[in-house]
Amino acid sequence: MPSPLASFRAAGICYKQVCSGVSRARKLPSLINNPGLPMSDASYRDAIFSTPLDKVARFSFDEQVVACFPDMIRRSVPGYGQILGMLSLIAQRHLRHGAHVYDLGCSLGASGLALAGALPADAFRYTGVDLSPAMVARAKQTFLEECPDHAMQIEEADIRTLEYAPSGMIILNFTLQFLPPADRDALLKRLYDALEPGGVLILSEKTIDADERDNAWRVERYHDFKRANGYSDMEISQKRTALENVLIPDTLDALHGRLALAGFPRSMTWFQYLNFTSLIAFKED
């Protein structure tokens, strides 16, 4: 199996660039805006739903997904690279020197790599947490190879039951949507409690619109986005089936409501691209 970094690079995601912030992040392939840029090597390309399946199984973060994950997320999540690129700029503004950062549902540790690429080794301590053993194993290997001088830890755990250490920044990038809705408020409350005064939570999610017509428009344009990134109608449809009752999106209003209920006095939407969004929630000083 290729090294995780090789597959990130093959997917057109160069973390050394993403990590260095907006000016460098502009050089990143911006998906449909740069169709001429090389796509990934065929061996790491997401082709999981490219053949007709008699029965589409529930989506899970297994070895097969891990092998093509950088390509999958780049071609499926509008704005993914831009969100990563901003994390280090947000950290530079909000993170006390040496503070602890959680990345919950870290997958292959992309947010950690983004931070390590932009910030010196003593600027922060990072803990990535993921439930998938395959993700955790590869993320560990990546950090050893790419940023051995930074304090990067990876834990295999369920973020709903973890004991949280005091932290200056908590990143929940496209993870809350995979928890049963009934478990979401309790987790956010625990994260609010774990944040130090002045700490921030970054919450990125796929969203749904309450208005049916708006929702249909956004979903159709999202499918256009996926087609433009090389997915066939069959792949789009089978992936949608696999994610049914696995990825359950909230509305943007519901997300802000959950943050308020958890105790955050202020939250704002800082990024939106079709039905994908990123919020920042502030804990009072």
Judged by CB under 6 A, which stretch of 101-109, 117-125, 218-226, 259-267 contacts ligand GEK?
101-109
Helix, strand or coil, per DSSP, at residue 142: helix
15 contact partners, CB below 8 Å, separation of at least 6: 5, 8, 84, 110, 113, 114, 117, 146
Distance CA(125)–CA(200), nearest Å, equals: 15
217: its two tokens = 């428009």
51: its two tokens = 């053949």
188 binds ligand GEK (CB under 6 A): no
Give, to the nearest 10 degrees, the angle between helix 233-243 and helix 212-228: 130
The footprint of ligand GEK on this chain (CB under 6 A) covers a number of residues equal to: 20
Q: Which of 44, 49, 174, 264 contacts ligand GEK by CB under 6 A?
A: 174
110 binds ligand GEK (CB under 6 A): yes
Measured from each CB, the residue nearest to ligand GEK is 105
129 binds ligand GEK (CB under 6 A): yes
Residue 116: closest CA among 73, 141, 84: 84
Q: Which of 88, 173, 207, 275 contacts ligand GEK by CB under 6 A?
A: 173
Judged by CB under 6 A, which stretch of 2-10, 131-139, 192-200, 272-280 contacts ligand GEK?
131-139
The distance of closest approach from Cβ of residue 10 to ligand GEK in the complex, given in angstroms and rounded to an integer, is 16
122 binds ligand GEK (CB under 6 A): no
Residue the block writes with tokens 């997320």? 73
Distance CA(161)–CA(199), nearest Å, equals: 21
Closer to ligand GEK by CB, 175 or 238: give it.
175
Residues of this chain that interact with ligand GEK (CB under 6 A) are: 61, 73, 105-107, 110-111, 129-132, 135, 158-160, 173-175, 178-179
